[in-house]
Amino acid sequence: MALDMKRVETGENLTTEFKREYTDEIKKTIVAFANTAGGTLYIGINDDKSIAGADNPDDTLLQVSNVVRSAIKPDLTLFVDCKIEKKGEATVIVVTVQKGTACPYYLAGKGIRPEGVYVRQGTSSVPATETAILSMIKETDGEKYEEVRSLNQDLIFREAGHFFDMKNVPFGLNQYKTLRLQTTDGVYTNLGFLLSDQSVHIVKLAVFEGLEKEIFKDRREFSGSLLKQLEDIYTFLDMYNHTHAKVKGLYREDQRDYPEDALREALLNALVHRDYAFSSSTLISIFDDRIEFVSIGGLPKGVSLDDILLGISVPRNENLASVFYRLHLIEAYGTGIPKIMRSYTDCKRKPEIQTTGNAFKITLPNRNANIHKVSGNNVSFTENEEKVIAMLDKQGEIVRKDVEAALDVSQAMAVRLLRGLLDKEAIRAIGGGKKTRYRKV
């Protein structure tokens, strides 16, 4: 833009803005230019295009340089040129801003939020929408969720720090960068977000009565740092991993419902390999005869279920897996699924793995669940169903009220138990109505 001693020829537009003097709003304009198409800011020119000249130009130039250096993130200094132009008696500060390569740029005090990220819209610098911010991040940082800059930059690592301390692994500002929790510019990534106390990704856990999702016995939600989630969830699962004793000859053998290695590896798999780009929760369901782990995100491209069973591993969240490896939670990549399968070597029922394009499911069988052969099929009975079968073995025939009295349950629950056994073809009904009698098949 040509400058004469009195006026400029062209007015403000998408890439040009005038300021009579330095104000705090200038940094918003610089951010907007860097996020949009670049532009030039003139300090010392009025809105009517008349040249007023900048007061104290050296001080103003220093103010602009300091703002670019300290108030805008990521580092924009290489994309900004500040100089003084003198025309006659008038002195103007010219700030030339190129479009940056690390969009979105934002005000350091506001963060990567609409109130901190600005773009040009006509002759104005306006807050960017969250959709526009996410689009800029994706375009700059790529597709890997854990490497993308976190929208939340106000992160605290109290829980993660506690976990690192327990493992005697250093965890400070230097490790934030080497572990990829921060970029080289000190900006938190989504990996940092996942390990922070502020993480909003949830694991939902439910305990059901019987074999179907009909009656809840307990339900919990776990959020916050993934390391804290791992610890809390495993503690909860361990409460439901009961120990049963079997006597063989002179010796008593204790066996837990689920091999501890299998339980641990299934949980680690659900947390480390899920796709956190989706907001859906990881689901863990505990039944009388099994535990199901369902996480969002199918197999990585080019990897089959057979590959996974052989121990081939292509981590979706490679940096997260590296953190878990450093904390000795993961022994080596690709060992988890084979370890789960080996822990059931001597069991009739084996773990099952199911995958779709968007989900991964591991089912661990309860080794101590009572499995019976009914009509040629393996059928699992709940604890209460086992008691009803025992009553029939002893009495030969029962009615509904016998179930209510013996198990101290309501009429509705007794009906549900009997109906479940009928559906499993373990018992048969004789007669009808209130006088219905039940016998084993």
CB 171 within 8 A of CB 164: yes
pLDDT exceeds 70 at position 88: no
pLDDT exceeds 50 at position 2: no
Kindly report whether the peptide bond that precedes residue 104 is cis, defined as omega within 30 degrees of 0: yes
DSSP SS3 for 280: coil
C-alpha separations of 182 from 134, 177, 363 in Å: 18, 5, 36
| Stretch 393-403: mean pLDDT | 91
| Stretch 45-60: mean pLDDT | 86
Nearest to 66 by CA among 80, 53, 52: 80
d(CA 89, CA 111): 41
Choose the CATH number for 203-365 among 3.90.660.20, 3.30.1860.10, 3.40.50.2020, 3.30.565.60: 3.30.565.60
Nearest to 371 by CA among 385, 383, 381: 381
- Give phi and psi for 14, each to the nearest 5: -60, -35
The per-residue DSSP string of 287-330 comes to -SSEEEEEEE--PPTT--HHHHHHT----SSHHHHHHHHHTTS-
| Stretch 324-348: mean pLDDT | 86
Helix ranges restricted to H, 9-74:
26-35, 57-70
Where are the domains positioned within the chain?
16-140, 142-195, 203-365, 370-440
| Stretch 188-209: mean pLDDT | 95
Residue type, 40: T
**β-strand 118-121 against 124-127: which pairing, if any?**
antiparallel
pLDDT exceeds 80 at position 204: yes
**β-strand 118-121 against 106-107: which pairing, if any?**
unpaired
By CB atoms closer than 10 A (0-12, 13-18, 19+), residue 43 is: buried
Tens digit of each residue's pLDDT (9 = 90 or more) over 267-312: 999 999 899 988 889 999 999 889 999 998 877 776 777 777 777 7
CATH topology of domain 370-440: Arc Repressor Mutant, subunit A (1.10.10)
pLDDT exceeds 70 at position 6: no
By CB atoms closer than 10 A (0-12, 13-18, 19+), residue 246 is: exposed
Helix axes 26-35, 57-70, angle to 10 degrees: 50
Tens digit of each residue's pLDDT (9 = 90 or more) over 124-163: 999 999 889 888 888 887 778 898 889 888 999 999 999 9
| Stretch 411-418: mean pLDDT | 90
Percent of the chain with pLDDT over 90: 48
pLDDT exceeds 90 at position 177: yes
Q: How far is CA 441 from the centre of its chain?
A: 49
CATH topology of domain 16-140: 3.30.950
By CB atoms closer than 10 A (0-12, 13-18, 19+), residue 166 is: exposed
Q: What is the DSSP letter of 150?
A: P
